[in-house]
Structure 1
Amino acid sequence: MHNYISGSILSGTLNVQSLLICSITSVILGLGIGFLYRFRNTYNKGFLLTLTLLPPIVQLVIMMVNGNIGAGMAVAGAFSLVRFRSVPGNARDITNIFFAMAIGLTTGMGYLGLAITFFIFLALVELIFLISPLGSEKEGVRILRMTIPENLDYENVFDEVLDYFTESYTLQSVRTVNLGSLFELQYQVELKGGESQKEFIDKLRTRNGNLTISLSRPFPSREEL
């Protein structure tokens, strides 16, 4: 078992059989990373193709520069340029790109058992984290936007209603609209369970002059690296 995980199938001169075995393993693991990326995530076909083909590409490069320190340093510099010249992605995008590159590096050195074990371990960690509620936004969190007349003192007028219908609330922004004749307030609120959203909005309408009110879920944030 130890030899299977830590042993390399490459010994001496590279041959066609070893190249095919490593390439097939890289493609299969790349497909696995692509399907893992699809889970509970928005995606496009081009990025899935990138995750699938990146391991065999990295694998081939590593095989070609094997034993050549200068060429290896040049390849490392090229990969760093790809990161800084590309469009910034969110944390999960970048993590899966490095995941695919790590698989390619491992298969490129012939450690197929290690690559498969590493893939299974990280896939399980990622799935457990995605399924668990850790880091998820609270169910009752909403974005409340209200339009009010310019002469209305908004700092205290809605506090009573907000205290009754929400667990917590934060005034995030205030801006003028309609050429400065109106104000638009934006709150992040956490609604209390069991309270009617319609009744909540109706109570607010009686205090904002029956102007526009919207209550929506927050957009998922894209953390960039």
Structure 2
Amino acid sequence: MIDEIFNMAEINVTLNFTTALLTIFTAFVLGIVISFTFMKTNNKGASSPQGFSLTLVMLPPIIAIIILLIGNNVARAFGLSGAFAIIRFRSAAGDPKDISYVLFAMAAGLSCGSGFFGYAALFTAILCLFMVVLNKMNFGVSNVTSKLLKITIPEDLDYQGVFDDVFEKYTTSYELRKIKTTDLGTLFELVYSVKMKEDINQKEFLDALRCRNGNLNIILSMNADVASY
């Protein structure tokens, strides 16, 4: 019985209503499992876009339907590849983990469309378990996170090296990312990417910077990857 479940693709299955329903339903369930795993392992938490979670649900049945329609017809395969080639994707590149989940969902849909329902469920369960375990272990997470620092200075202050001694005292690394003028050129805005040392008092760090920039605006963002600058 188990061998029959895992080797359904070896049977000469023709496309019919029952097969189509079974394929779509199985792919849809696997998509829900993958999407749920993504939401639980996503470090962005509440900021995770709902559209991407829904995409992970719908992607496996869509891929499965495409595989069912193509079958062994080479002409259909070339026709669909040409149709996909004209689609222009304008969305910005996402997190590498998000891309891996997209490939994960596509693999699940491909397996269901090919008739390997047992194998699709098996590798989905194993990979989702791996993702949950690795997330619980905080695998690959750095203890030091980058922060975005915006410092406003007067136009008569030479910004080159003016904060270097402060950065060396409170940070492990720093990099000047951007310089721009504000208020009709009367002020400069410096944008740094910094990595704070452990057990550093952020207020003391900001106070030391305020002594150099004339108590003008200073913004310290918690995450340099999501902050806009």
Fold match (TM-score > 0.5): yes
The letter of the residue matching 1:204 is L
Tell me: CA distance 1:141–1:108, structure 2 relative to 1, closer, same or farther (3 Å): closer
Q: Which residue does the alignment assign to 2:159?
A: 154
Tell me: CA distance 1:75–1:94, structure 2 relative to 1, closer, same or farther (3 Å): farther
Query: TM-score scaled by structure 1?
Result: 0.81
Question: How many angstroms apart in 1 are the aligned matches of 2:198 and 2:188?
Answer: 29
1:9 and 1:18 in contact (8 A); partners too:
no
1:140, distance to aligned residue in structure 2 (A)? 5.1
3-state SS, counterpart of residue 214 of structure 1:
strand
Question: How many angstroms apart in 1 are the aligned matches of 2:99 and 2:180?
Answer: 35
Q: Which residue does the alignment assign to 1:107?
A: 112
3-state SS, counterpart of residue 147 of structure 2:
strand
2:111 and 2:117 in contact (8 A); partners too:
yes
Question: How many angstroms apart in 1 are the aligned matches of 2:55 and 2:153?
Answer: 49
Tell me: CA distance 1:147–1:61, structure 2 relative to 1, closer, same or farther (3 Å): closer
Question: How many angstroms apart in 2 are the aligned matches of 1:128 and 1:154?
Answer: 46
| Correspondence for 1:206 among 191, 208, 211 | 211
1:159, distance to aligned residue in structure 2 (A)? 2.3
1:166-177 correspondence to structure 2 within 5 Å: 166-177=171-182
| Correspondence for 1:121 among 99, 105, 126 | 126
Query: Gapped runs of 5+ residues in structure 1?
Result: none
Moved more, 86-95 or 63-72: 86-95
3-state SS, counterpart of residue 154 of structure 1:
coil
Q: Which residue does the alignment assign to 2:31?
A: 30
How many residues align structurally? 221
Moved more, 94-103 or 147-156: 94-103
Tell me: CA distance 1:32–1:76, structure 2 relative to 1, closer, same or farther (3 Å): farther
Query: TM-score scaled by structure 2?
Result: 0.80
Question: How many angstroms apart in 2 are the aligned matches of 1:190 and 1:43?
Answer: 24
1:198, distance to aligned residue in structure 2 (A)? 1.3
| Correspondence for 1:87 among 86, 91, 100 | 91
RMSD, aligned CA = 2.8
